[in-house]
């Protein structure tokens, strides 16, 4: 599937995709399953010249690839890592990535990397900082950066904006694209006590080029975005709400812990088809 989607860059509707993981390489290389597209974790194919890159080259010859990273640190206060950005751009050219992105977060400071998606305070000063960095990165990459709303487990006392206000203004002011992770909206709504439907009401839908779905772990007092297990029904319900508001969006399933066989993951992803509105349905912008 590859039709034109309702976003301001006319990026295509890729259909239903699956996050590419090493456990599934043998199945994919042996069967070449019918999958609309794959999303790769960018860093897994950087600083390596080994087997993962060789496999990725073969997969990129047959499928559409989207790149999704975790180490850009767009919200960080260290200078931008130009070596990292050059490698990212080269990988995007190599895989003919349809788009590439990362998260609204920081990952480390003073040269360190926590390998986590750490939250930023939602205030005017942080917003200005991110807008400037997103513009610089987009100029370098020569394409819109696709930024994902993170799942967060804390809130800063100094925040003056809601997450959805922050992300909407970040996208408008920097002219970046958005990846809306529905599971993250749900997880953060539980952790911070906001209404996830009000969050969706404020999404600038013409900037949303992709949606993520995943499982999470509910600890009662809080939820963790573990990417483990099936997508919970309440998250599918929220996905249906999102599709009603924003129209059909390329949708991808992430499954990163206790990863089952490829067919189980793909079947879980394809459940999204039941919630998609018909093409041409009227949507918000």
Partner 1 sequence: MQRWMQIVITHPRGVAAGVGTEEAKAEYDIVPDELERLIAPSGSLSGLERISIYSEMYTLRLLDVLREDFSVLLNALGERRFEALARDYIAAHPSRHPNLNQFGRHLAGFVASRDDRHAAFLSELATLERAASEVFDAERAAALSRVELEGLAPESWPRLRLERVPATRVLSFRYPVNRYYVDVKEGRGPRIPKPAPSFALVYRKDWIVWRANLSREQHALLEALATGAELGAALESLSAREDLDLARLQRELAGWFREWSAEGVFRSIG
Q: Which residues bind partner 1 (CB under 8 A)?
A: 43-44, 46-51, 54, 70-71, 76-77, 81, 84, 106, 108-116, 118, 121, 153-159, 191-193, 220-222, 224
Please state the closest distance from residue 267 (CB atom) to partner 1, in A.
27
Cα separation of 103 and 270, whole Å?
Answer: 24
Cα separation of 31 and 17, whole Å?
Answer: 16
CA-based R_g, the chain, Å: 18
- The set of residues, in sequence order, having a beta carbon less than 8 Å from that of 212 and lying 6+ positions away, is 148, 179, 180, 181, 182, 183, 184, 251, 252, 253, 254
Please state the closest distance from residue 206 (CB atom) to partner 1, in A.
31
- The set of residues, in sequence order, having a beta carbon less than 8 Å from that of 27 and lying 6+ positions away, is 33, 261, 262, 263
User: Is the Cβ of residue 43 or residue 268 nearer to partner 1 in the bound state?
Assistant: 43
User: Is the Cβ of residue 20 or residue 276 nearer to partner 1 in the bound state?
Assistant: 20
Please state the closest distance from residue 163 (CB atom) to partner 1, in A.
13
Pairing status of strand 100-103 against strand 3-4? unpaired
Q: Burial level of 129, CB count in 10 A (0-12/13-18/19+)?
A: middle
User: Is the Cβ of residue 221 or residue 278 nearer to partner 1 in the bound state?
Assistant: 221
Cα separation of 215 and 164, whole Å?
Answer: 22
User: Is the Cβ of residue 149 or residue 189 nearer to partner 1 in the bound state?
Assistant: 189
Please report, for residues 41, 114, 115, 255, the alpha-carbon distance to residue 118 in angstroms, rounded to integers and kept in the order given. Answer: 17, 8, 9, 20
Please state the closest distance from residue 222 (CB atom) to partner 1, in A.
6
Please state the closest distance from residue 280 (CB atom) to partner 1, in A.
41
Please report, for residues 21, 41, 59, 145, 272, the alpha-carbon distance to residue 66 in angstroms, rounded to integers and kept in the order given. Answer: 13, 9, 12, 12, 18
Please state the closest distance from residue 217 (CB atom) to partner 1, in A.
12
φ, ψ of residue 34 in degrees (nearest 5):
-80, 100
Cβ count within 10 A of residue 202: 12
User: Is the Cβ of residue 10 or residue 157 nearer to partner 1 in the bound state?
Assistant: 157
Please state the closest distance from residue 41 (CB atom) to partner 1, in A.
10
User: Is the Cβ of residue 23 or residue 114 nearer to partner 1 in the bound state?
Assistant: 114
User: Is the Cβ of residue 1 or residue 29 nearer to partner 1 in the bound state?
Assistant: 29
User: Is the Cβ of residue 216 or residue 249 nearer to partner 1 in the bound state?
Assistant: 216
User: Which tokens hold the place of 117?
Assistant: 């998606």
User: Which tokens hold the place of 144?
Assistant: 């819109």
Please state the closest distance from residue 6 (CB atom) to partner 1, in A.
33
């Amino acid at each position: 599937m590859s039709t034109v989607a309702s976003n301001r860059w006319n990026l295509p509707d890729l259909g239903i995709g699956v996050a590419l993981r090493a456990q599934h390489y043998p199945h994919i290389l042996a069967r070449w399953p019918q999958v609309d597209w794959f999303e790769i974790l960018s860093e897994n194919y950087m600083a390596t010249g080994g087997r993962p890159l060789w496999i990725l080259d073969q997969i990129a010859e047959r499928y559409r690839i989207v790149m999704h990273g975790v180490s850009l640190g767009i919200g960080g206060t260290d200078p931008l890592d130009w070596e990292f950005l050059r490698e990212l751009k080269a990988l995007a050219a190599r895989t003919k990535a349809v788009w590439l992105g990362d998260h609204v977060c920081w990952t480390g400071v003073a040269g360190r990397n926590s390998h986590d998606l750490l939250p930023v305070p939602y205030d005017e000063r942080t917003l200005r900082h991110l807008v400037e960095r997103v513009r610089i990165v987009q100029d370098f990459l020569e394409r819109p950066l696709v930024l994902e709303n993170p799942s967060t487990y804390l809130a800063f006392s100094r925040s003056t904006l809601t997450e959805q206000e922050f992300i909407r203004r970040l996208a408008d002011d920097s002219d970046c694209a958005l990846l809306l992770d529905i599971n993250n909206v749900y997880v953060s709504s539980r952790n911070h006590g906001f209404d996830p439907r009000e969050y969706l009401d404020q999404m600038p839908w013409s900037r949303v080029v992709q949606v993520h779905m995943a499982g999470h772990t509910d600890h009662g007092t809080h939820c963790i975005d573990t990417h483990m297990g099936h997508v919970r029904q309440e998250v599918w319900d929220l996905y249906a709400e999102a599709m009603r508001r924003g129209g059909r969006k390329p949708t991808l399933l992430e499954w990163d812990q206790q990863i089952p066989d490829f067919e189980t993951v793909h079947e879980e992803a394809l459940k999204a088809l039941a919630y998609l509105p018909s093409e041409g349905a009227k949507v918000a912008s």
